[in-house]
Structure 1
Amino acid sequence: MSHPHRTTLRTLRRFLVLAAVGVLSAATALASAPPAAAEPATAVPYPVGASATRYSGLAFDTCTAPPLTAMQAWAASPYRAVGVYIGGVNRTCAQPQLTASWVASVSKMKWRLLPIYKGLQPPCGGRPTDAKISSDAATARSQGAEAAADAIAKAKALGMRPGSAFYNDIENYVQTDATCRTAVLSYVSAWTKELHRLGYVSGVYMNLNLGSKQLSDVYTSTAYARPDALWIARYDGVDSLTGWTNIADSKWAAHQRAKQFKGSHNETYGGVTLNIDSDRLDTPVATVAYTYTAKSSTMLNARTGPSTGYPAAKSYAPNSSLEVVCQAPGSTVGSTRVWDKLSDGTYVTDYYVSTPSKATYSAPLPRCTYPYQTTAPRGVTERSGPGTSYTAVGKSPNGSLAWVYCQRAGSAVGTTKIWDRMDNGRYVSDYYVATPSKTTYSKPAPRC
Structure 2
Amino acid sequence: MRRWKSRGLAAIGGVLAFLVVGLAPPAAAEPETPVAYPSGSTVTRADRLGFDACTAPSRAALDAWNGTSPYRAVNIYFGGNNRACAQPNLTRDWVHDVTAAGWKLLPTYFGYQPFCMFGDKPHRYTVTSAAARGNSDADDAVARAAALGVRPGSALYADVEHYDRENSTCRTAVRRYVSAWTKSLHADGYLAGVYVHQDSGLRDLSNSYDSTSYARPDAVWMARWDGSTSLQGWPTAPDSHWSAYQRAKQYRGDHDETWGGVTINIDSDVLRAPVATVARTYRVTSTSPLNARSGPAASYPVVRTHEPGATLSVLCQATGQQVGTTKVWDRLAGGAWVSDYYVSTPSDTTFTSSIPRCLYPGQVTIDTLNARTGPGTSFPVTGSQLRRGALAHVICQKAGGTVGTTNVWNKLRDGRWVTDYYVANRSNTTWSAPVPRCP
Alpha-carbon distance in structure 1 between the residues aligned to 2:215 and 2:11: 28
Q: Which of 384, 390, 396 pairs up with 2:373?
A: 384
Change (3 A) 1:12 1:227: farther
| Corresponding residue number in structure 2 for 1:254 | 244
5 Å-filtered alignment, 1:174-323, equals 174-323=164-313
- How far has the Cα of 1:28 moved from its partner? 6.2
Alpha-carbon distance in structure 2 between the residues aligned to 1:436 and 1:213: 30
| Corresponding residue number in structure 2 for 1:19 | none
| Corresponding residue number in structure 2 for 1:85 | 77
The answer for unaligned runs of 5 or more in structure 2 is none
- How far has the Cα of 1:34 moved from its partner? 2.0
For 1:166, give the aligned amino acid: L
Q: Is the 8 A contact 1:40 1:219 kept in 2?
A: yes
Change (3 A) 1:150 1:126: farther
Alpha-carbon distance in structure 1 between the residues aligned to 2:219 and 2:124: 23
| Corresponding residue number in structure 2 for 1:67 | 58
- How far has the Cα of 1:369 moved from its partner? 0.3
Q: Is the 8 A contact 2:152 2:189 kept in 1?
A: yes
Q: Is the 8 A contact 1:12 1:207 kept in 2?
A: no
The answer for unaligned runs of 5 or more in structure 1 is 14-25
Residues 168-198 of structure 1: per-residue CA shift (max 9 Å, x gap): 0000111111111101100000000000011
Alpha-carbon distance in structure 1 between the residues aligned to 2:203 and 2:47: 23
Residues 186-233 of structure 1: per-residue CA shift (max 9 Å, x gap): 000000000001110000010111221110000000000000001100
- Secondary structure of residue in 2 paired with 1:205: strand
| Corresponding residue number in structure 1 for 2:109 | 117
- How far has the Cα of 1:62 moved from its partner? 0.2
Alpha-carbon distance in structure 2 between the residues aligned to 1:166 and 1:185: 17
Alpha-carbon distance in structure 2 between the residues aligned to 1:117 and 1:130: 15
- Secondary structure of residue in 1 paired with 2:56: coil
Alpha-carbon distance in structure 2 between the residues aligned to 1:111 and 1:302: 28
Alpha-carbon distance in structure 2 between the residues aligned to 1:395 and 1:67: 43
Q: How many residues align?
A: 428
- Secondary structure of residue in 2 paired with 1:183: helix
| Corresponding residue number in structure 1 for 2:159 | 169
For 1:389, give the aligned amino acid: S
| Corresponding residue number in structure 2 for 1:412 | 402
Q: Is the 8 A contact 2:11 2:368 kept in 1?
A: no
- How far has the Cα of 1:35 moved from its partner? 3.2
Alpha-carbon distance in structure 2 between the residues aligned to 1:199 and 1:338: 25
Backbone CA RMSD of aligned residues:
1.3
Alpha-carbon distance in structure 1 between the residues aligned to 2:435 and 2:51: 32
Alpha-carbon distance in structure 1 between the residues aligned to 2:89 and 2:183: 31
Change (3 A) 1:66 1:141: same
- How far has the Cα of 1:309 moved from its partner? 2.3
Residues 400-438 of structure 1: per-residue CA shift (max 9 Å, x gap): 000111001111111111111111111111110001111
Q: Is the 8 A contact 1:332 1:338 kept in 2?
A: yes
1:337 aligned onto 2:320: no
For 2:12, give the aligned amino acid: A
Q: Is the 8 A contact 1:12 1:171 kept in 2?
A: no
- How far has the Cα of 1:360 moved from its partner? 1.4
TM-score normalised according to structure 2 size: 0.95
| Corresponding residue number in structure 1 for 2:42 | 51
Alpha-carbon distance in structure 2 between the residues aligned to 1:435 and 1:210: 30
| Corresponding residue number in structure 1 for 2:122 | 130
Alpha-carbon distance in structure 1 between the residues aligned to 2:127 and 2:283: 53
- How far has the Cα of 1:310 moved from its partner? 1.7
Q: Is the 8 A contact 1:67 1:97 kept in 2?
A: yes
Would you identify which runs of 4 or more consecutive aligned residues in structure 1 move more than 4 Å? none
Q: Is the 8 A contact 1:89 1:131 kept in 2?
A: yes
For 2:347, give the aligned amino acid: S
Q: Is the 8 A contact 2:10 2:368 kept in 1?
A: no
- How far has the Cα of 1:27 moved from its partner? 5.2
| Corresponding residue number in structure 2 for 1:94 | 86
| Corresponding residue number in structure 1 for 2:32 | 41
- Secondary structure of residue in 1 paired with 2:113: coil
Q: Is the 8 A contact 2:10 2:370 kept in 1?
A: yes
Q: Which of 72, 96, 101 pairs up with 1:104?
A: 96
1:144 aligned onto 2:137: no
Change (3 A) 1:129 1:232: closer
**Identity in percent:** 52
Alpha-carbon distance in structure 1 between the residues aligned to 2:36 and 2:73: 27
